[in-house]
Amino acid sequence: MEDYLERRKQLIHEDRARRVDAPGARTLSEDEVHADEIVRRIRAEEAISVWAVNSGSVFDYDPAKTTPNVFPGMEFLTARETIIKTRLFEIISKMPKGGLLHAHLDATVNARHLLKLALEQPVMHVSVSSALTSDNIGDVLPKFKPVPKENVSDVGSLSDLSYHPGDWIPFRAARDNFSESLGGPEGFDKWVINALMINPIEAYQTHNTTQKIWAKFTSVFTVSTNLIRFSPIWTEYIREFFLSSIEDGISYSEARINFWYRYMVGPNGEENIDHRGFVMIFGRVLNEVKEEMKRQGREDEFIGSKIIYCTLRFISPEELEWYCEDCLALKQEFPHLIAGFDLVGHEDSLRPLIDYIVPLMRFVERQKELGLDIPFIFHAGETLGDGTAADMNLYDAILLGTKRIGHGFSLVKHPKLMEICREKGIPVEVCPISNEILRLTSSMPMHPLPILMNQGVRVALCSDDPAIFGNMGLSFDYYQVLVASEVSGLTTMGEIARDSIRFARLDAEEKERALALFEKRWAKFLQDVIRDYAQ
């Protein structure tokens, strides 16, 4: 039996040898071991006290009698209110997270905060395609426009019988005058928020397939873009992204910005702020936040932020050439801000990377000509398909030399590609909650993350579109990953956080500083966990 147990231990070690937290790979400090034990104990306790409670026999989202089937790593949208009450979440919230490497800038700020920013802009207006009633309020979406030049309504409410569809009402007035029968101003907020987020009924019932939920997902961007691409809001939106990230322990980020829109709207209502303007605002707010952190003596909590230039996967290869040139010009002017290039949008339904090989290879050549370095950081394999065009994007992303893979959900099906990722150090930006809400996985225990980790493919945990999913910061994603595994522990989360810095598009010096600052915070965090949670 002793011999058997020894062989068993050996086999387990070999099986886990490629993990970032491989047994015996490095000697753990006493604090690391202790804090890891504490977290495992609390996780085990809460698996019973929080996640094993008996639920009713009928699955029903009526808030008055919601009794979903609960378990650790269950559907985020129904679990969220429970998660935030747990001790484990309390711990994870305080954990330094390193970098956030995959987030779409225009979906990074809490929808309620965006609403607040919009209400602060007297020139923001709203319209609907038909006067709101209790019957249609679930289907009619708000449309926004700053400083409309015509069709400004002379009625003050979107639910007024005399409201002329399409006419513009000042946003604040529309809220103040929102019909009591539709819930008054609070009903107005609820209506707007519902258009800006995915709710559990959509994710888990009516739109419970990747294809359907993407329809809702796309609709959110259509609604929010006219709020966000208004430079006074955009400015404050970026600031809030930085500040709220810092509060969650994120010290660095690489924001994917969608440059498909060639202009955004300026303060006077003219759509005349070009891509240079986008980046200049980003850079200005970045500096202001750095200054502010310094003033507070917290400069070590914020390394900075960069931009991954994105356009959408539905453009023609010819149109892509324009965007590549545009990106080159921005890189020349803002070399410290432009960190990479990507194509975004629903891979299952839009054009595959193979359609763009010629302009993308040309883009690489042009970089050489100009002495620039704008690495590809492609979305690829964000799909359930096996051998579909979206799945095949992984081959092209890797052949094109992508430095990281966005999502790579289907990468686990590809042994050779995983080998390449492991050997070349191409990490995957894994977005656990996004994958679940967009129905690639039904819950965290079904998520393929452990497969990647055990294959030695490095990962960074990312939030993707937290404004739409409600997974603000990175704490929720770390939490969901941590409760769904008994192999991973707090030490594993620390290694993943370190990888989010190691694989960031920072130069060697920046990276060294970022890692040193991380270690300092991590050591302090471990001490806090031991102080506050040891029995």
Contact footprint for a second copy (CB under 8 A) = 1, 4, 7-8, 11-12, 14-15, 17-18, 57-59, 69, 71, 205-209, 211-212, 354, 357-358, 361, 384-388, 392, 395-396, 398-399, 412-417, 440-442, 445-446, 448, 450-451, 454-456, 484-488
- Determine the Cα angle at 288 with ends 282 and 291, to 5°: 140
H-assigned helices in 371-474: 389-399, 415-424, 432-437, 449-454, 466-469
**Residue 262 Cβ, how far from a second copy at the closest point, in Å?**
29
Q: Which is nearer to a second copy, 33 or 530 (CB)?
A: 33
CA distance 371 to 514: 26
Q: Which is nearer to a second copy, 12 or 516 (CB)?
A: 12
**Which residue, among 302, 306, 324, has the nearest Cα to 315 in the 3D structure?**
324
**Residue 412 Cβ, how far from a second copy at the closest point, in Å?**
5
Q: Which is nearer to a second copy, 18 or 172 (CB)?
A: 18
State phi, psi for 8 to the nearest 5 degrees: -65, -45
Q: Which residues, 6+ apart, have CB-to-CB distance to 160 below 8 Å? A: 131
CA distance 447 to 481: 9
**Residue 370 Cβ, how far from a second copy at the closest point, in Å?**
22
**Residue 417 Cβ, how far from a second copy at the closest point, in Å?**
6
Question: What DSSP letter does each residue of 458-474 carry, written as one string?
Answer: -EEE--BSHHHHS--TT
Tokens, residue 87: 């001790």
CA distance 444 to 83: 14
Q: Which is nearer to a second copy, 5 or 161 (CB)?
A: 5
3-state secondary structure 8-52: HHHHHHHHCCCCCCCCCCCCCCHHHHHHHHHHHHHHHHHHHHCCC
Helix (H, G, I), strand (E, B) or coil at 503: coil
In the chain, how long is the greatest CA-to-CA distance?
Answer: 86
Q: Which is nearer to a second copy, 32 or 75 (CB)?
A: 75
Length of the chain: 535
DSSP strand E in 225-368: where?
Answer: 250-258, 304-312, 338-344
Identity (one letter) of the amino acid at 392? M
Q: Which residues, 6+ apart, have CB-to-CB distance to 161 below 8 Å? A: 131
Q: Which is nearer to a second copy, 329 or 357 (CB)?
A: 357
**Residue 322 Cβ, how far from a second copy at the closest point, in Å?**
21
Q: Which is nearer to a second copy, 486 or 519 (CB)?
A: 486
**Residue 438 Cβ, how far from a second copy at the closest point, in Å?**
13
Q: Which is nearer to a second copy, 399 or 534 (CB)?
A: 399
CA distance 159 to 177: 9
Q: Which is nearer to a second copy, 7 or 262 (CB)?
A: 7
Q: Which is nearer to a second copy, 2 or 509 (CB)?
A: 2
CA 108 to chain centre: 7
**Residue 346 Cβ, how far from a second copy at the closest point, in Å?**
15
CA distance 241 to 392: 33
Q: Which is nearer to a second copy, 251 or 485 (CB)?
A: 485
**Residue 451 Cβ, how far from a second copy at the closest point, in Å?**
5
- Determine the Cα angle at 66 with ends 60 and 69, to 5°: 75
**Residue 289 Cβ, how far from a second copy at the closest point, in Å?**
38
**Residue 70 Cβ, how far from a second copy at the closest point, in Å?**
8
**Residue 355 Cβ, how far from a second copy at the closest point, in Å?**
12
